[in-house]
Amino acid sequence: MPISTPASAESVAPVARKRRRNFLRPGGYPALPIAILMITLIIPALFSQWLAPYGPEATNLRARLQPPVFFGGDWSHPFGTDRLGRDILSRTMHGAWYALSISVVGIFVGVVIGSSLGLIAGYFRGWWDTIIMRLVDISLALPAMLLALALAALSGPSFQSVIIVVAFVLWAYFARQVRAEVLGLRERDFVARAVVAGSSHLAILRRHILPNVVNTIVVLATLQVGIVITLEASLSFLGIGIPRPIPTWGLMVADGRQLLTSAWWVSFFPGLAILLTVLSVNLFGDWLREKIDPKSRRV
């Protein structure tokens, strides 16, 4: 049949398909539940200092390995306690703060470096492009764990080294994505028009290119939060991330590793926190993309 996409009806001007809000339907992301889930995760992270019933490192040796409420425990430690009698709920809440700050700072650094290089590579092309894209290839080929190990070996595990690892893992993705987008944009007529008008490179980048890639960058950045949180957890789990006794989720899961059969709650709650956070942030990112990324909006 000589028929391809019947959607090529030019007369169907700006058709926005009315979508029924439905979780099961691909592309249907209910905004409200995602928002509620996000807020319940962000608030404890931001205010853990005041909201958490105990300090993250407060030990209580008399209440060691107490099970969660409804599992033989009581309301004094709703999520139970660990081997040193530290409150799991409080530690999970404090962990959220670290997960969040590492994501925000790490992604910010990665975005700034990656997007700038991507802009330069895509806009100026030539040898700029060659050099930057080779660096991207190298960076993508290098395992993050190896770099983390090297950094930990050099300067010892620290907050900063985790940020460096995160930024290092992310910048290449942003550089590549932004470059691809810019390559397309710079061939658009409005850029040609600006060149003919006599605008400088800086003016063209600022007025014509950047505003048109910002959406992509924001969406991409949101979708990286999940990756960063899992990355940070794995680094901490392996002991090359943020050092003890700071309660990151990865460390907490690692701590409960040997107790899985006897005291499952030690690993379970931080693990659950990782799962829920990654899930909700990814859903939010997909929803955001649907909302603002014109490419996926096209019918």
Partner 1 sequence: MTNANTPVLEVRDLTRHFDITSGLFSRQRHVVKAVDGLNFAIPTGQTLALVGESGCGKTTATRMILRLDKPTQGQVLVDGQDVHSLKGAGLRGLRSRVQAVFQDPWSSLNPRMRVRDLIAEPLMAQGRPSRKEIDMRVAKVLDDVGLRPDHAGNFPHEFSGGQRQRIAIASALISRPGLIVLDEPVSALDVSIRSQIMNLFKDIQQEYGVAYLLVAHDLATTRYLADQIAVMYLGKIVEIGPSEEVFNNPRHPYTKALFSAALPGHPDDAHDEIVLEGEMPSPLAVPSGCAFNPRCHLKIGEICERRTPALKPIGDTAAVSCHLY
Partner 2 sequence: MSMNENQPILSVRDLETMIETKRGEFAAVDGVSFDLYPAETLGIVGESGSGKSLTGLSLMRLLPRGIGRISGGSVELDGSDLTAIPEARMRKVRGRDIAMILQDPQTSLNPAFTIGDQIVEAMRLHRKPQPEGFMAMAVDTLRKVRVAAPEMRVKAYPHQMSGGMRQRAVGAIAISCQPKVIIADEPTTSLDVTVQAQYLRLLRELQEQTGMGILFITHDFGIVARVCHRLAVMYAGQVIETGPVKRVFDRPSHPYTQALLNSVPKLSGHQGRLPAIEGQPPALWAKPKGCRFSPRCPYADDRCRAEQPPVTHLGGEGRDRHTASCWRLLP
45, 93 Cβ separation under 8 angstroms:
yes
Contacts 24+ apart (CB under 8 A), 268-271: 269/68, 269/79, 269/80, 269/88, 269/89, 269/92, 270/88, 270/91, 270/92, 270/95
Q: Find the shortest distance in angstroms from Cβ 15 to partner 2.
A: 6
- Token pair, residue 288, equals 């955001």
Binding test (CB under 8 A) with partner 1, winner from 24, 189, 202, 299: 189
Size of the site for partner 1 (CB under 8 A): 17
Burial per residue of 261-296, b for 16 or more beta-carbon CB atoms within 10 angstroms, e otherwise? eebbbbbbbbbebbeebbebbbbbbbbbbbeeeeee
Residue 61's binding partner among partner 2, partner 1, none (Cβ under 5 to 8 angstroms by kind) is none
Is residue 197 exposed (0-12), middle (13-18) or buried (19+ Cβ within 10 Å)? exposed
Alpha-carbon gap, residue 96 to 41, rounded angstroms:
8
Point out which span in 19-27, 28-36, 41-49, 202-210 binds partner 1 (CB under 8 A). Answer: 202-210
Point out which span in 16-24, 85-93, 125-133, 203-211 binds partner 1 (CB under 8 A). Answer: 203-211
Q: Binders of partner 2 among 7-66, rule CB under 8 A?
A: 7-18
Binding test (CB under 8 A) with partner 2, winner from 146, 154, 196, 299: 299
Alpha-carbon gap, residue 257 to 235, rounded angstroms:
15
Q: Find the shortest distance in angstroms from Cβ 14 to partner 2.
A: 7
Point out which span in 129-137, 146-154, 157-165, 189-197 binds partner 1 (CB under 8 A). Answer: 189-197
Is residue 254 exposed (0-12), middle (13-18) or buried (19+ Cβ within 10 Å)? buried
CA angle 6, 293, 138 (to 5 degrees): 110
| Contact call for residue 195 and partner 1 (CB under 8 A) | yes
Is residue 161 exposed (0-12), middle (13-18) or buried (19+ Cβ within 10 Å)? buried
| Contact call for residue 183 and partner 1 (CB under 8 A) | no
| Contact call for residue 201 and partner 1 (CB under 8 A) | no
240, 148 Cβ separation under 8 angstroms:
yes
- Using the minimum distance from each CB to partner 1, give the nearer residue, 125 or 207: 207
Residue 126's binding partner among partner 1, partner 2, none (Cβ under 5 to 8 angstroms by kind) is none
Residue 208's binding partner among partner 1, partner 2, none (Cβ under 5 to 8 angstroms by kind) is partner 1
Point out which span in 26-34, 134-142, 208-216, 273-281 binds partner 1 (CB under 8 A). Answer: 208-216
Distance of alpha carbon 73 from the chain centroid: 34
Residue 195's binding partner among partner 1, partner 2, none (Cβ under 5 to 8 angstroms by kind) is partner 1
Distance of alpha carbon 165 from the chain centroid: 14
| Contact call for residue 193 and partner 1 (CB under 8 A) | yes
| Contact call for residue 125 and partner 1 (CB under 8 A) | no
Binding test (CB under 8 A) with partner 1, winner from 43, 203, 260, 275: 203
- Using the minimum distance from each CB to partner 1, give the nearer residue, 214 or 260: 214
| Phi, psi for 18 (deg, rounded to 5) | -80, 120
Sites of contact with partner 1 (CB under 8 A): 188-190, 192-200, 203, 207-208, 211-212
Sites of contact with partner 2 (CB under 8 A): 1-18, 299
